[in-house]
C-alpha cells in the first residue's frame, strides 16, 4: 500500500462515518447503560445457583478450578456427582455439581452467625479485619484460620492454621480436605486445608468465579442476592429458593443454611444422600 493511498484513506475516514450512519446499519449490542440501583451500604450476599436442568456433567468447572488454583492431585474444590433415580426401566441419571456451600450457619460467635467449620476452629476468632462494601462502608469482622467474611464467604488463612482438621470433621458435606502438598502455617508437621474460596481473588476484582465463567451450559449462576436486579435474586424469587430451603439446598437437616441453591424441578436432591463416614469421598471426582 503506498503512502499516498493511506493518506487518502485517512482523509476519507474523517468524513465517512456519517455515510455509515446514513446507511442505517444495525448496531452491535454488547453494552448497556448500568441500571441505577438504590445505593446499598450492605455487603454483597454471594450465592450460587446450580441449575440441574442445565448441567450436563462435562466437568469443565472441575478443570477450571484445578487450573485456577493448581489444586493438588487427589483433592478437588468442586466436583460433579451423579445420581441415578427411579426404578428400571424408568431410570434417570442426573448430574449434581458440588462445591463448598459457604453456609450462613446458625451458631453465633460474637455477633457473627457462623457455620460448623468456623465454630470449631480453635484459631477463630483472632485478628480484627475490615470489609469495605462497594459503596465504601466499613464493616468490622474477625479473622481466623477459617473465618466468615461479611459477604458470606467462608475463607481460610493458612498462616493462622494449625492443621488440626477439626473443620474437616465439622463440615457435613465433606467440602474440606487436607492439602498433602502444603504445610499448615502454624504447625509445619501438619497439612494445610484446601477448600473452595469462591474465587475470592476474582470476586474482589469484579469478575465471576472460574467455574461459573467456564460453565458452557450456564448451569452455575453466581451473584449478589442483596441486589434485587441480579440474576440470582430473580431466580431465587422465581423458584422460591429461599422459602424452600429443605428442597433447594444440600442436606437441609444439617441446618447449616447453605448459600448454594439448586434448581431441582424433579426433586433429585431428595434422592441424593451419602453416609457421614463417606463424606470425604464425595469430593473425589470419579467418572462412573
Partner 1 sequence: MRNSNSGIAGLYGLLANIFATEVSPELLAQLRSADFRELFTELKIDLGEDFYSGDAAEIVDQLAVEFAGLFLGPGHFISPHESVHHVRDDGDYGTLWGADTVAVKKFIEATGLSYKPEFGGMPDHIAVELEFIQKLEERYAQAVDDGEMELADNLMKIKKRFFTEHLLAWAPEFLTKVAERATLPFYREMAVLLQLLLEQENRIITESTEECAPV
Interface positions with partner 1 (CB under 8 A) = 1, 5-6, 8-10, 12-35, 205-207, 213, 231
Rounded Cα distance between 258 and 280, Å, is 18
Nearer to partner 1, 7 or 246 (CB): 7
The distance of closest approach from Cβ of residue 211 to partner 1 in the complex, given in angstroms and rounded to an integer, is 13
Nearer to partner 1, 143 or 223 (CB): 223
Residues 6+ positions from 51 with CB-CB distance below 8 Å? 218, 219, 220, 221, 235, 262, 263
The distance of closest approach from Cβ of residue 75 to partner 1 in the complex, given in angstroms and rounded to an integer, is 23
The distance of closest approach from Cβ of residue 228 to partner 1 in the complex, given in angstroms and rounded to an integer, is 15
What region, left, alpha or beta, does residue 77 occupy, with left being phi > 0 and alpha being psi -120 to 50 degrees?
alpha
The distance of closest approach from Cβ of residue 217 to partner 1 in the complex, given in angstroms and rounded to an integer, is 11
Nearer to partner 1, 155 or 203 (CB): 203
The distance of closest approach from Cβ of residue 269 to partner 1 in the complex, given in angstroms and rounded to an integer, is 26
The distance of closest approach from Cβ of residue 165 to partner 1 in the complex, given in angstroms and rounded to an integer, is 33
Q: What are the distances in angstroms from CA 248 to CA 36, 78, 199?
A: 31, 18, 23
Beta pairing partners, 179: 192
User: Do β-strands 191-194 and 78-87 pair in parallel, antiparallel, or remain unpaired?
Assistant: unpaired
Rounded Cα distance between 162 and 144, Å, is 11
Instruction: Single out the residue of 213, 182, 184, 210 nearest to residue 197, CA to CA.
Output: 210
Rounded Cα distance between 255 and 106, Å, is 7
Rounded Cα distance between 45 and 131, Å, is 13
Nearer to partner 1, 175 or 211 (CB): 211
Nearer to partner 1, 168 or 212 (CB): 212
The distance of closest approach from Cβ of residue 30 to partner 1 in the complex, given in angstroms and rounded to an integer, is 5
Nearer to partner 1, 127 or 229 (CB): 229
Convert 89-106 to b/e letters by CB count within 10 Å (16 or more is b).
eeeeebbbbbbbbbbbbe
Nearer to partner 1, 74 or 218 (CB): 218
Nearer to partner 1, 28 or 189 (CB): 28
- Is 167 within 8 Å of 146 (Cβ atoms)? yes
How many other C-beta atoms lie within 10 A of the C-beta of residue 191?
A: 19
The distance of closest approach from Cβ of residue 62 to partner 1 in the complex, given in angstroms and rounded to an integer, is 18
Rounded Cα distance between 104 and 96, Å, is 21
Amino acid at each position: 500500500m503506498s503512502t499516498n493511498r493511506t493518506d487518502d484513506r485517512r482523509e476519507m475516514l474523517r468524513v465517512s462515518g456519517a455515510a455509515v450512519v446514513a446507511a442505517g446499519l444495525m448496531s452491535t449490542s454488547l453494552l448497556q447503560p448500568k441500571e441505577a440501583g438504590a445505593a446499598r451500604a450492605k455487603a454483597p450476599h454471594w450465592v450460587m445457583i446450580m441449575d440441574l436442568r442445565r448441567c450436563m456433567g462435562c466437568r469443565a468447572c472441575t478443570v477450571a478450578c484445578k487450573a485456577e488454583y493448581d489444586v493438588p492431585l487427589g483433592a478437588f474444590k468442586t466436583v460433579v456427582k451423579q445420581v441415578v433415580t427411579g426404578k428400571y426401566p424408568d431410570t434417570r441419571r442426573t448430574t449434581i455439581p458440588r462445591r463448598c456451600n459457604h453456609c450462613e450457619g446458625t451458631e453465633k460467635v460474637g455477633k457473627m452467625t457462623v457455620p460448623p467449620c468456623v465454630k470449631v476452629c480453635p484459631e477463630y476468632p483472632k485478628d480484627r479485619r475490615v470489609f469495605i462494601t462497594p459503596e465504601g462502608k466499613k464493616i468490622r469482622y474477625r479473622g481466623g484460620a477459617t473465618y466468615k467474611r461479611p459477604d458470606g464467604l467462608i475463607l481460610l488463612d493458612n498462616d493462622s492454621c494449625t492443621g488440626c482438621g477439626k473443620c474437616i470433621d465439622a463440615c457435613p458435606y465433606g467440602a474440606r480436605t487436607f492439602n498433602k502438598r502444603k504445610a499448615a502455617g502454624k504447625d509445619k508437621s501438619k497439612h494445610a486445608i484446601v477448600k473452595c474460596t469462591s474465587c475470592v481473588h476474582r470476586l474482589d476484582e469484579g469478575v465471576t468465579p472460574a467455574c461459573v465463567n467456564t460453565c458452557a451450559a450456564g448451569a452455575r449462576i453466581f451473584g449478589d442476592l442483596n441486589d434485587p436486579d441480579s440474576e440470582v435474586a430473580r431466580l431465587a424469587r422465581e423458584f422460591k429458593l429461599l422459602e424452600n430451603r429443605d428442597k433447594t439446598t444440600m442436606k437441609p437437616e444439617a441446618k447449616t443454611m447453605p448459600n448454594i441453591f439448586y434448581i431441582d424441578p424433579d426433586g433429585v436432591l431428595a434422592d441424593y444422600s451419602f453416609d457421614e463416614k463417606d463424606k470425604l469421598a464425595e469430593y473425589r471426582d470419579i467418572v462412573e
